Structure 1
C-alpha cells in the first residue's frame, strides 16, 4: 500500500488561533458576538422578561455526550443548535451552561479524563444538515462549565471532534471539518500542548476536505487516527464524498500523519467515516463508512413484468399509448400516485388533442434520467483493522440497507464496548448492535418510544451495559445494553421552523419542528410542570395554520410542500398540496414551503412552489395565480429556485408579496406581477417578507447569505410597494436574519429574529435592542398574537419563548418619554396570605410586579401606592436608569398607628380589597395607573 506522509512545514509552525485566516470579506462570528454583548450591555430591554413555554416532550438533536467517569451522575449533553446542558443528578434536572457564548450550535466536546473539570467545546455542528449553524470557534472551561475562555478557531466554522490526552488536560487535538457551503483552508487537525494558548496545524488535505472524526489510543496516546471527509453543500446540491476522504494515522502524538487505506475503499465515492478504537484491544480499530458508490443489486424475479413502468413511456409513441388497455393504464396511474383526476380516458383524450407526448408521463415526477436509471448507493459499511490500521476488512456480511438511506452524511458514528472488542454499535436512522465484530446485527431501538436518527452514544467504561444515547428526539438511557430505554426529555430544546397561534383563551401555540413534526401547546405552558404538548403531525414539521374560526381545523405538513388539512375532531387528514398537470414543469417545493391562510377569508389558502397557488375552498382545488417567480436556476439533488416566503396584505385583498430562495422579490396588486429587487442585495435567500398592517404601500424584507457561509445583516423596508428600499440594519451586528416583522399595534415597533438572538426596535429600525433573556440561539419565526399582544418566538434549538410586548407598544416612537408605568393587572385577595398550611411549608406570599419605563435617566425612581381614598399607603424605590424596569410589591401597606413615634418604622399589613393607584415618579415627572384587589 502506498503511504502518503502528510506533514507540511507551513502547518507545523505554532500559531495563535486568532491569527487564522478569515474568509475574505466575511464578518468574523466571534467579533460579531462581541458587538452583540456590547449592545446587550446598553439595551433598553436588558433583563426584560421572556418566558419559555417549552415544549420538552419531543427532545431535540443531540450531537455529543461527555460524562464524568468518576461520578457518572454528572454529565453534559450538547445540542446541534441549543447549546450545552449539564446534570448533577443523573438527568433528573439539567441547567444550561453555554448560553452566553458566541454560538450555541455545537459540533463536539471533550471532558478531560484526568480531572473531569476541564472541558473543551467546539462550536458549529458537524452533521452538515440544512440547519447546521456555523460556530464561533473553540472554548474551554476549567471549572465544569461555570466560566469559559475562547480559544479562537472562529474561521473553521464547524468542528468535527475534540480529543484530550488521557493524562494531561493541556494536551488537546481539534479536528476541524471547515465551512459547510464554501471552501476554506481552516480545516484539518490542530494540536496544542499548552491548554489551547497556541496551536499547530499538523494535518491538511485540501480546502474542501475537513477532519470529521479523531480518536486516540488510550494505552498509547501518541497514536491517533483521523478520518478526512470531502464534502460541499450548496443551496441546490450536496456532494457528500470525494477522493480527499480517507483514514490517517499518527504515531508521534499528531505531529505527522500517514494515509492508511489498504483494504479500505478509496476514491471519488468515499463519504463520511466514523472511527473508534477498542479500549481493551487497541490494535482493533473500526471505521464506519458512508459509501456513495452505486449499489449493484441482483435483479429480482419480475413478478410485475406485465405492469407498466414510468420508463416505458419514455420512447412510447402516441399511437402505442392509445392502444394500451384502459385497465392496465389505470392500474399504472394508481400505482404511481398520479393525481386522481387522471384516468385512462382523460390521458388518451389529451394525447389525441396533442396536449403532450407520452414522454411527459415518464417525466411527471422529475428528471427523466432519474426515472430511467433509479440508481442507489451502497451506503453504510463497517470496516475493521486488527493491526492498528495497516489493513482493513469489510465486516458486515450483508448490506446494511435502511441505516443511511440517502443521507449518510447526517450520521457516521461507531462505538465499541470497553471490555469486548466484538461488541459494536453503529447508528444512522436505526441503532444497530453487533456481538460478532460487525458481521451480523440486531436493531435495539425498536422497543419502546425511542426516536430515530441517532447521533451520539456513550458507553460507561466501568459498566458496558450502561449507555447514554443521543438522537433527534433527545436523550435516552439504558442499563441493559439497549434492551430497554428511558427517555430523559426534560429540556426545552425544540428546533422550530415555524410558529402560529389560535384565538382560544388562553391561546394555543402551534409549531413545526425539525424531525419532530408539528406540536400544539398552551401559551401558559411551563416546561416540566404543566401538561405535555400534543403532536398533530409527523416528519420535519413546517408551516402550520389553524383556522381562526375553528381550532379543530389545522393546515400543516412536512418538508418539501407536503401539506394536509387536518380535522382534529374527526382525526381526518386530507392532502391539499397542489399538483401540476402532465406536460407542465415539475413543481419545485422549498424544504420549508410557505403555506398561509388569507387574513380576509380563512377558506382562502396560499402555497408557494416556483409559482404561487391559491385555493378558494380550503385546499380542495388550486389555481396558479402567478408565473414562475424564480430565476429558474440549474439545480442538482436539492430543490432550488423555489418560493421561500409569502405575505398577503391585511389591508387589501390581492396585494401579495413573494420572496424566493434565489433572490427574487415580487409584488402583485391582483393583476400583473412586478419584480421589485432594485436596491436589494443580489441572489440572496429571501428569508421573510411582511406586508405592513398599517400602511398599504409598506413592506418589509429580510434576506440572508447563510447558504454561502456569509453572515451579514440584510433587513429592508419599502414605503412604495417595493419600488425603492431602505436598509434597517442600524446598529445591528453582522448576523444572519431569519424573520422581520412590524408590530400590529404600533407601526414604529419592529422585531427581528436572527441566527444569534432576537431584537426589537422602537424607532422603525433606526436602532435595535437585544432581548437578552432569550439565549443566543437562532430565532427562526416570530409573530405577535393579535389579541393578547404577546410576541411568540420560535427558536431553532431552545423551543418557544413568549414576551409581553404591550409595554413596547406603549413607548415605541416615544423612547424619550420621562416615565411610563404599565398596568400590572388585578389580583384576588386571600385570607390565607402569609399563612403556612403546614409548619414545614413556605408561607403563601402574594406579589405584584409593577413595570415601568424610564426615558430620561435619574439616580432612582419612586413608586407610590395610594388607596381608593387617595391616601399614600406604600412607597417603594426602583431603578432610574433608562429602559424597562420592574419592582416587586409584596401587597403590603402601612398600618396606621397614632401611638407610634414619627421616626419609627410603620407596621405593615396585607392590603385590603379595593382599588389602588400606582404612581411612578422620575424627578419632576410622573405617570400613573391602577389595579384592583378583588
Structure 2
C-alpha cells in the first residue's frame, strides 16, 4: 500500500489540519516517527477492521473515544430514557450564559469561528439572503441578510424540544450537522442531516434527519426508514453526506447516508440496525425508505439485504441533474450510480476513472465494498443550466483518480446523449501533491456555477480541498489556487484552509465553508493577477463577525480573581485568550498550532502556558493579558528536546503543579516534571516514571501505552531538586485500547511518592482493583478499556487520596471515585445517561457537590456519597446548547457577569464555545459539611476474646464553617479510640480520626455501626467481621533429628505434618525456620479446614561442624506452634604433614642413623584411610608405620632412617622418598655424605577432594 506522507512545513504557523490529528505528536520529517506512525496506524486499523465492518482508515484517527463490545444502540436508547427521567428542577434551573469565543482574531485569516460543513441558499430567495449553515457541533444557523455588508446568523437548533429531556423526548442531542438543504419552491421545508460524514475522528455521530416545515422555527426528527422491520435501517450513529431534490417531482428528495467516524469509534451505530446507503422520501423528508443499489442485475444492497454483519455502504455525495432529470451518487468502494426515482440505483456503464472497473469494484452483495476499489471519497457537481456533470475521486490513500466532466451538450430540451460518458478529463494536477490530494478524505467538494462573460456562457468550476481552486471551462479549465493558505505565501486571500462546503447563488454570489468558518465572494472569485497577489483578499469577504461561537474547546483555563480573563485551547484553530469574556468581543489567537492543554498560573496569573503544535509543544509567556501570538512562536520551551523525543498523543496532557507553580508536569508514555520555564533546565532527571506500560526501554516506543489524562495533589514535598519538589501524589490515566493505550488501554496509574524515576518512585497500576458496588461488570474498573478522559483530585482531601475519574465510552460505567488512591473504587454512574463522560470537578465550597460533563450535557449532585447506591444526578442549568460538553472549570472567588455571589462554573463545548453558570454553592452562607470516609469497615477473622489491629475512619469538615462533633457511638463487638474525642470542634478543612477495633465475643459474623453525630448531620459507618470457631492445630512430630551430614551438603528431607483437629477453619501464617535448616516444600495454604492436614518438608544443610539446632515456628489464629530441629555437621578429613623437611646428621656409609619421625595429622571429623609410605632412594628406610588410618582429630607417625651406600666428596648422591596415603604422596631427594631433607621436589597431598602441595628434599654428604 502506498503511504502518502504529508508536508508539515506549515504546521507551526497555520491551522493544524485535521489529517494531522492522528497518533503522532512529533515532526513528520523524521523517518523514525513516520515509521512509528505507520506501524501504530496500521495496527489500529487492523484491530478495528477485525472488530468492525471494513471501512475507511479513519483519518484523524483514534482520538480519545473507543467502543465497547456491546449493543451500543441499545445503550443509546437507555441513555435517552435516562435523560427523559432527569427533569430539571427549579433550584437547578439557572440559565447558562455564553462566554465566547464568538470569534477568534487571527493574523493570517482575520476572524475565525469554527468548522462549517454545509451551506444551503434558499432557492426561493433570488437575492441569496436566506442562507442556512450546518456546523460540526454547533447545529444549524440561519441568516436572513447574507448578502448585506454585515450579515448576521442565528442558531436554530441549540435547545430543540426534540432534544430536550423536559419535553419527554428520547432522542440524544446531536448538533453535528453533515448536510443542510432547502426544498425548492418556497415551501419552508429545511432538512438537516445530523452526523458529520467528513471521516474525522471528531466527526460526531448523528441521531437522524431533522426537518423543519417553517424555515427553521420548529423541528421534527426522523430516526429510521419505514421499509424495514422494527429496529432496522436506523440513521442512529451515522453521518449524512448530502441531500438532492428532484425538480421533476418536487416532493422527492434523496439522502446520502455515510459514516460518522467518531460514531464508529464509540460504537454509536449498531450492526443490524444502523444502515448506510441511499434513502429517498416522497413526502419532502417526513418519512424515508431505502433505495436499492445494483450493478446491473447484481444487487449491492436493498431493503431486504441482511445487514447483520455490516452497516451497508457509505455514500459520499449525491446530486440531482435537472437537465437529465436523474440523481447521481458516489458509493464508497463501488463507484458512481444513477437513479430516476431515488428508489432504484444502477451503476454507470462508464465510470469517471480508469480504475473504477467491476473487477476492482466487485458487487459483494451483503458485504462491505472492496478496498481495492479506488473510490474512498467522491465529490459530484452539476451545472444546472447545461446539465454538465463533474466528478472528483480519491482512493483510500487520497491518490487522485482524476477530475472528470460529462458534457451534456444541452440542445434546449435534452442532452446530446442519454448516457453519462465522462469523456472530458480535466487537468487536476494543481490539486495534487505527489499524486495525492492532501486531506481529500476530509475536505473535498465541487461546485459548477453558470455564468456569462462578455456575452459568452461559461461554467466556473470550484474544487475545494485544503485550498479553493477555480477554473473557467471556456478558458480551458486551468485550475488556479485562489487562497494559498498552505503553500507558503502567507495566505494573501485571508481564507482559512480545509474546505467543506460551497454554495452558489445568482450574480456571482458564492459562499465557502471551512475549518475557520464562513467566507463569501460576490464576483465568483474573479482573480486576474498572478498567484499570491496582494489583491487576492479583495475577492473574498470574511463573514465570521456575524456568527456566534462555533469553537471546539479542548482545554480551558481561568484567572483566579478576574472573571472575564480566560485562556482556551480550540483545536485546529490553536489557542485564544480574552480579558473581556462577558462582552463577547473577539478573542485573540495566541498559539497557531494544534492546541490541547492550556494553563494560567493560579499563583502568578501573568504566566500563561499553552500547547501549540502536535505532542509535547509547550510555550510560555509571562506578560499576562499583554501576551500576543508573537510570544508563542519559534521553538517551544518544553518540547521534544526536553522530553527525549518521546512519542505522545497529539494533545499531550500537561499541568502546572498545584503545589509548586514553578513546576510543570507532562505525560508521554512516561511522566515528566521540571521547571515550568523549560529549556536546558530539563533532562532525563526530570522523569518521574519509566514507561507506565509497555517496553522497559529508556524512551517511549510504538508499543508503549500513551497517557491521556494527568493530575497532581496530596502533601507537598520540599526539595532543591525541581522534579522532587511539589505534589507527592500523581495520577495518570491512559488512552483507550484503540487510541494509543494498547494493552493498557484505559488503565489508571498512581504514585504516592512522586520523585525522580528510581526505586523510591513507585507507580502502581490500580486498574485491577475492585469496584465494590458493580457486580454487573464483575466489579472491574473500566472494563471497556476506554480513554480515561479526565481525573480530578478532591481539594477537600489534603491527602490526595480522593480521586474522581471519567470514562469516555458507551455501555460501561462513566464515573468512578476512590478515597484510597485507587486501592478500591466505587461506580458513581447511577442515573447518569449512558454516554461518554468527558470531565468531572468537585465544588470548591462543598466536597459533596460534584459536576460531570458528558456528550449529553452537564450534571450535578449535592450528595455524592449516595451516588453509589441511589439515583443522585440532575441536569444542571437551562439554555446550554446541546453540544457535547468537553471541559469543566470551577472558580470559588469570582462571580459570573450580572451575579453578585461568588462562585462560577464554566463549561467548554465541542462546537458551541464556552458557557457559564453560578456554582450550586455560589454565595451560600458558611456551613459545616460532615464528611466520613470510608463508609464501611470489614475486619479479617479474629479469634473470640482477642482484639484486632485498628482500622481508621477519617472525619472531615468539608464545609466553610466550624463543625461540632456531638457524639460518636459504636455498637456491636467493636471498640473505638482516636483523636476525634479530644477534638470535638473541627475548623473548615480539618479532620480527625476514629480508630476502630474488632473484639468478638462469640463466633460467626459480627456486625455493628459507628455513628458520628454533628451539627451538620449524622453519618454511619457499617462495621463487620468474622470470629472463627475453635481450632486445634497440632504439629507431628515436634522434634526432628538429622544424622551427621557433611558441611555444604543437604540431608534427606524430613516431614512435619500440620493437622487441624478443631471444628473451624484455621488461619495459618507463614512458617519460619532458624538455624541450618531449610523449608524445602510446603503444602499448607493460608487456611486449613477442620480435620485436615498439610505437610512441611525440612532439610538440614550444616554450615559448621558439630551439633546444630534450630526451630520451626508456625503461627495461626489459635497461637504459635513450634518444633525443635537438630543435626550434626561434619567437616572433611585433612592430611597435614609435619615437619616438611628432615635433616640427618653425618652418617658413615653403610651405617644407619638414628630415626627421625614425620607426623601426619587429621583435623577433620571423619577418618583418613589408606595411608602408605614409600622411599625412592635406597639410602632411606621407614622403620615403622604406626597406623594405616586416622580417625577424626588423630595424629599419624612414621620413623625414617638413613643408611648411605657409598661416599663421594665430589659427586652428590640423591635419594627420593615418598609417603603415600590413598591417592596422595610426599617425596624428597637427598645427597651424601651429609643428610638433609629439604623442599627440592614436588609432593602432592590429596584428601577427599582437597589438594595441597608440599615440597621436601634429602641432601647428604659423606665424610
Q: Give the TM-score normalised by structure 1.
A: 0.68
Structure 1 pair 581/606, CA: closer, same or farther in 2 (3 Å)?
closer
How far apart, CA to CA, are the structure 1 residues paired with 2:926 and 2:202?
A: 33
How far apart, CA to CA, are the structure 2 residues paired with 1:572 and 1:263?
A: 49
SS of the equivalent of 2:518 reads strand
How far apart, CA to CA, are the structure 2 residues paired with 1:407 and 1:632?
A: 33
How far apart, CA to CA, are the structure 2 residues paired with 1:47 and 1:423?
A: 52
Q: Does 1:471 align with 2:523?
A: no
Alpha-carbon offset, residue 408 of structure 1: 1.8
The residue number in structure 1 matching 2:336 is 247
How far apart, CA to CA, are the structure 2 residues paired with 1:645 and 1:758?
A: 20
Alpha-carbon offset, residue 94 of structure 1: 2.3
Q: Does 1:197 align with 2:259?
A: no
SS of the equivalent of 2:497 reads coil
SS of the equivalent of 2:750 reads strand
Q: Does 1:719 align with 2:819?
A: yes
Pick from 508, 529, 549 the counterpart of residue 492 of structure 1.
549
Map residues 224-263 of structure 1 onto 2, 5 A cutoff: 224-229=327-332, 244-260=333-349, 262-263=351-352
Structure 1 pair 89/398, CA: closer, same or farther in 2 (3 Å)?
closer
The residue number in structure 1 matching 2:885 is 779
Alpha-carbon offset, residue 386 of structure 1: 2.7
Decide whether the 8 Å contact of 1:612 with 1:624 is kept in 2.
yes
Structure 1 pair 783/506, CA: closer, same or farther in 2 (3 Å)?
closer
SS of the equivalent of 1:680 reads coil
Decide whether the 8 Å contact of 1:739 with 1:781 is kept in 2.
yes
The residue number in structure 1 matching 2:478 is 440
The residue number in structure 2 matching 1:428 is 465
Structure 1: gaps (5+ residues): 1-21, 230-243, 294-376, 816-934
Deviations 1:465-490 (A, max 9, x none): 10111111111121111252221223
Pick from 540, 546, 561 the counterpart of residue 616 of structure 2.
561
How far apart, CA to CA, are the structure 2 residues paired with 1:23 and 1:179?
A: 19
Q: Does 1:482 align with 2:514?
A: no
Map residues 262-341 of structure 1 onto 2, 5 A cutoff: 262-264=351-353, 265-266=355-356, 267=360, 268=372, 269-282=374-387, 284-292=388-396
The residue number in structure 2 matching 1:186 is 275
Structure 1 pair 281/35, CA: closer, same or farther in 2 (3 Å)?
farther
Q: Give the TM-score normalised by structure 2.
A: 0.51
Deviations 1:679-736 (A, max 9, x none): 312311111111111122111101122xxxx466511111111122111212212211
Pick from 218, 243, 246 the counterpart of residue 165 of structure 1.
246
Structure 1 pair 111/576, CA: closer, same or farther in 2 (3 Å)?
same
The residue number in structure 1 matching 2:495 is 450
Paired residues in the alignment total: 681
The residue number in structure 2 matching 1:390 is 421
SS of the equivalent of 2:607 reads strand
Structure 1 pair 76/30, CA: closer, same or farther in 2 (3 Å)?
farther
Decide whether the 8 Å contact of 1:281 with 1:421 is kept in 2.
no
Alpha-carbon offset, residue 638 of structure 1: 10
Deviations 1:352-383 (A, max 9, x none): xxxxxxxxxxxxxxxxxxxxxxxxx6348422
Alpha-carbon offset, residue 495 of structure 1: 1.0
SS of the equivalent of 1:525 reads helix
- RMSD of Structure 2 on Structure 1 (CA): 3.1
Structure 1 pair 814/756, CA: closer, same or farther in 2 (3 Å)?
farther
Decide whether the 8 Å contact of 2:279 with 2:288 is kept in 1.
no
Structure 1 pair 631/691, CA: closer, same or farther in 2 (3 Å)?
farther
Structure 1 pair 25/632, CA: closer, same or farther in 2 (3 Å)?
farther
Deviations 1:192-220 (A, max 9, x none): 21343342342356647301111111234
The residue number in structure 1 matching 2:142 is 86
How far apart, CA to CA, are the structure 1 residues paired with 2:704 and 2:96?
A: 39
Q: Does 1:536 align with 2:640?
A: no
The residue number in structure 2 matching 1:686 is 788
How far apart, CA to CA, are the structure 2 residues paired with 1:580 and 1:626?
A: 18
How far apart, CA to CA, are the structure 2 residues paired with 1:435 and 1:630?
A: 57
Q: Does 1:55 align with 2:159?
A: no
How far apart, CA to CA, are the structure 2 residues paired with 1:43 and 1:32?
A: 23
Alpha-carbon offset, residue 640 of structure 1: 8.4
Structure 1 pair 179/512, CA: closer, same or farther in 2 (3 Å)?
closer
Structure 1 pair 25/801, CA: closer, same or farther in 2 (3 Å)?
closer
Structure 1 pair 201/272, CA: closer, same or farther in 2 (3 Å)?
same
The residue number in structure 2 matching 1:408 is 440
SS of the equivalent of 1:777 reads coil
Structure 1 range deviating more: 212-221 or 45-54: 45-54
The residue number in structure 1 matching 2:219 is 148
Pick from 70, 73, 77 the counterpart of residue 124 of structure 2.
70
Pick from 605, 615, 618 the counterpart of residue 674 of structure 2.
615
SS of the equivalent of 2:86 reads helix
Deviations 1:732-788 (A, max 9, x none): 122111111212221111111111212222221452222332111111111112522
Decide whether the 8 Å contact of 1:692 with 1:742 is kept in 2.
yes
How far apart, CA to CA, are the structure 1 residues paired with 2:473 and 2:814?
A: 55
Structure 1 pair 495/668, CA: closer, same or farther in 2 (3 Å)?
same
Alpha-carbon offset, residue 400 of structure 1: 2.1
The residue number in structure 2 matching 1:673 is 763
Structure 1 pair 640/249, CA: closer, same or farther in 2 (3 Å)?
farther
Structure 1 pair 505/151, CA: closer, same or farther in 2 (3 Å)?
closer
The residue number in structure 1 matching 2:852 is 752
The residue number in structure 2 matching 1:903 is none
Pick from 733, 737, 759 the counterpart of residue 659 of structure 1.
733
Alpha-carbon offset, residue 655 of structure 1: 0.4
How far apart, CA to CA, are the structure 2 residues paired with 1:54 and 1:441?
A: 36
Structure 1 range deviating more: 590-599 or 93-102: 93-102
Higher relative contact order (CA 8 A, sep 6+): 1
How far apart, CA to CA, are the structure 1 residues paired with 2:380 and 2:554?
A: 32
Decide whether the 8 Å contact of 1:556 with 1:564 is kept in 2.
yes
How far apart, CA to CA, are the structure 2 residues paired with 1:120 and 1:640?
A: 46
Structure 1 pair 681/43, CA: closer, same or farther in 2 (3 Å)?
farther
Deviations 1:884-927 (A, max 9, x none): xxxxxxxxxxxxxxxxxxxxxxxxxxxxxxxxxxxxxxxxxxxx
Structure 1 range deviating more: 485-494 or 46-55: 46-55
The residue number in structure 1 matching 2:738 is none
Decide whether the 8 Å contact of 1:782 with 1:791 is kept in 2.
yes
Q: Does 1:95 align with 2:201?
A: no
SS of the equivalent of 2:551 reads coil
How far apart, CA to CA, are the structure 2 residues paired with 1:111 and 1:786?
A: 47
How far apart, CA to CA, are the structure 1 residues paired with 2:708 and 2:117?
A: 28
Structure showing greater radius of gyration is 2
Structure 1 pair 578/469, CA: closer, same or farther in 2 (3 Å)?
closer
The residue number in structure 2 matching 1:839 is none
How far apart, CA to CA, are the structure 2 residues paired with 1:625 and 1:109?
A: 50
SS of the equivalent of 2:83 reads helix
Deviations 1:226-263 (A, max 9, x none): 1122xxxxxxxxxxxxxx24222223444232255535
Structure 2: gaps (5+ residues): 1-68, 105-111, 164-172, 225-234, 294-299, 302-309, 361-371, 409-418, 452-456, 484-490, 527-538, 717-726, 736-744, 754-760, 769-779, 895-902, 930-1263
SS of the equivalent of 1:150 reads strand
Structure 1 range deviating more: 617-626 or 24-33: 24-33
Alpha-carbon offset, residue 811 of structure 1: 9.2
Map residues 872-891 of structure 1 onto 2, 5 A cutoff: none
Structure 1 pair 279/798, CA: closer, same or farther in 2 (3 Å)?
same
Alpha-carbon offset, residue 512 of structure 1: 0.8
How far apart, CA to CA, are the structure 2 residues paired with 1:640 and 1:157?
A: 32
Decide whether the 8 Å contact of 1:433 with 1:441 is kept in 2.
yes
The residue number in structure 2 matching 1:214 is 318
